[in-house]
Amino acid sequence: MSLSNFSTDLCVVTVNGRQLKDYGEAATPVTDAPIDAKRQLRRGQGGSAVRLDRINPGREVSIYLNPGSSDSAYMQGLYNSGANITYTYIQIGTLETALGSEGVIVNDGQRGRGGSTITDDQFILHFNIWEATRG
């Protein structure tokens, strides 16, 4: 039995070739989830069913960065410009990888400032093409 290491320093994320490193305080600073279901089952009232497969279910990625960081400024620049996005993710030592292409930054997240604490800068990305492996 081996011990998998999912530490932040072994998580390599790039957006349009730039490696992001200055993550915020969120417990999970990089997340991804499907946008649409990969498959659907349409069940008729007569007892039969039809299977519907989606070729590209798409993927949503959320990245939480430290406010005021150069990484956050970089992402804000991509968001403001409407740039097309390519994304890579590698978790060194666990064999997990992901490649997202034909992507856009669809939104930024809630901003909390001026109190006893502040929120991370959040960026939400959507990808049409997504290839991933899990360890």
Other beta carbons less than 10 A from residue 91's beta carbon: 21
> Structure pTM?
0.89
Spans of all domains in the chain:
8-133
Is the pLDDT at 1 greater than 80, yes or no? no
- The full length of the chain comes to 135
Other beta carbons less than 10 A from residue 109's beta carbon: 14
Other beta carbons less than 10 A from residue 121's beta carbon: 23
Backbone angles phi, psi at 112, to 5 degrees: -115, 120
Per-residue pLDDT tens over the stretch 51-107: 999 998 999 999 999 999 999 999 999 999 999 999 999 999 888 999 999 999 999
Per-residue pLDDT tens over the stretch 13-23: 999 999 999 99
Answer CATH for 8-133 from 3.40.50, 2.40.30, 2.60.120, 1.10.3470? 2.40.30
